[in-house]
Amino acid sequence: MKILVFVFLCFCFLNYGKAQDTFSILAFDSITREVGAAGASCVDLIQYFPNYPDDFICELFSDTGAIACQASYLPANQINARNRMRAGDTPTAIISWLQNNDVAANSAIRQYGVVKMVYQGETASAAHTGSNCFSYKNHITGVHYSIQGNILLGQQVLDSMESRFKRASGDLACKLMAALQGAKIPGADTRCMANQSSSLFAFLKVAQPTDPFGNPSLRVSVRTQNNQFIEPIDSLQQLFNRVHSCIPSTLELPNTSFSEFKIFPNPSTSYFEIQSRLPVFTAECVLTDALGIEREHLFVSESRVAFGKSINPGLYFLKVIINNTEIKVFKLLKN
């Protein structure tokens, strides 16, 4: 009997190890307090994980954050990650704990991503890519997002996801869908090169602040099998379009210009600059953080004005007021 149990456990271990969730993105919107995740992989869920939901490797915690557990996935590690999130750990602390407490003492084959609201409306992220994950492997983190992948065609997959995410108009769901489209490259997961697709399954989900755990307001997913030559990201886009509309917003990056004003660079790592063609002393600008707290107040009296040098990394809003009338709000990101 002990031998049978040992063989069964080994079988489960090997099957879980097939789950590589090759590329994924987590993000938190500190304004709407939505949290979301999207990902795809060349794992055949129909064969290896028929009873698992397509999105099982990424978990959302409403009004709190998200965690991705991928590359040689083990449920026990995911449970530990979930417990650390609920215990209030920061993203960096969660990653450190998982590395030091891997259930199989082998964090070198794991990959994790974490994003979380940490303090007074500020978000933070962290990630871990084990040295023994299958190449190409890497991760990218920003103030409010984490992108991670393994068994990739190359760094261009992650870079494209980040670029599309940052530049997309619309809400968080629209940005996540755009990020996945950035990875729609044949062989993005190199195992799918022969299938002429990026992956075999794809998913996207977004939780509102009051959504119960495991039941996000938006969840769409697609699973296919090898040799069907179906691009799941395109199929996911079709499902997504049926249930969600992406209407461009005046507050979205990189929409930071109108006929009289330009603000650049955005995002920025140091400071922002206003280029104005308005008459002297006609524009009042108020910079606030994600909680609405005023950080800078300036009057644009020159053609070029720098601001934001002393603020911390995060999401900010610049309100432009002319003749006591608010005419524009810019959304700015400092990394």
Average pLDDT, the chain: 86
- Residue that finishes a domain, picked among 243, 276, 305: 243
Instruction: Evaluate whether residue 311 is within a structural domain.
Output: yes
- How far is it, in rounded angstroms, from Cα 79 to Cα 213? 13
- Say whether both 37 and 162 belong to one domain: yes
Contact at 8 Å (CB) between 25 and 7? no
Domain of 266 in residue numbering reads as 261-334
Find the range with the poorest average confidence among 41-45, 118-122, 306-310: 118-122
Write the CATH number for 287.
2.60.40.10
Other CB atoms within 10 Å distance of the CB of residue 276? 20
Write the CATH number for 223.
3.60.20.10
Domains held by the chain: number: 2
- How far is it, in rounded angstroms, from Cα 43 to Cα 129? 19
- Say whether both 187 and 135 belong to one domain: yes
pTM for the model = 0.71
- Is 50 exceeded by the pLDDT of residue 90? yes
Helix (H) or strand (E) holding 10: helix 2-17
- Is 80 exceeded by the pLDDT of residue 183? yes
- How far is it, in rounded angstroms, from Cα 164 to Cα 147? 12
Instruction: Evaluate whether residue 255 is within a structural domain.
Output: no
Q: What pLDDT, in 10s, does the model give residues 302-323?
A: 667 889 999 998 888 888 877 6
- Say whether both 165 and 297 belong to one domain: no
Instruction: Evaluate whether residue 250 is within a structural domain.
Output: no
Cis previous bond, 313, omega within 30: no
Which ranges of 104-145 does DSSP label H, i.e. alpha helix? none
Instruction: Evaluate whether residue 64 is within a structural domain.
Output: yes
Beta partners for residue 128, in sequence order: 112
- Residue that finishes a domain, picked among 243, 278, 310: 243
Which of 53, 44, 310, 84 is closest to 201 using CA atoms? Answer: 44
- How far is it, in rounded angstroms, from Cα 10 to Cα 13? 5
Q: What pLDDT, in 10s, does the model give residues 253-286?
A: 334 445 567 888 888 889 998 877 665 446 788 8
Which of 63, 126, 68 is closest to 94 using CA atoms? Answer: 126
pLDDT given at position 159: 96
Instruction: Evaluate whether residue 227 is within a structural domain.
Output: yes
Residues 6+ apart with CB under 8 A from 194: 226
Encoded tokens for 217: 């307001």
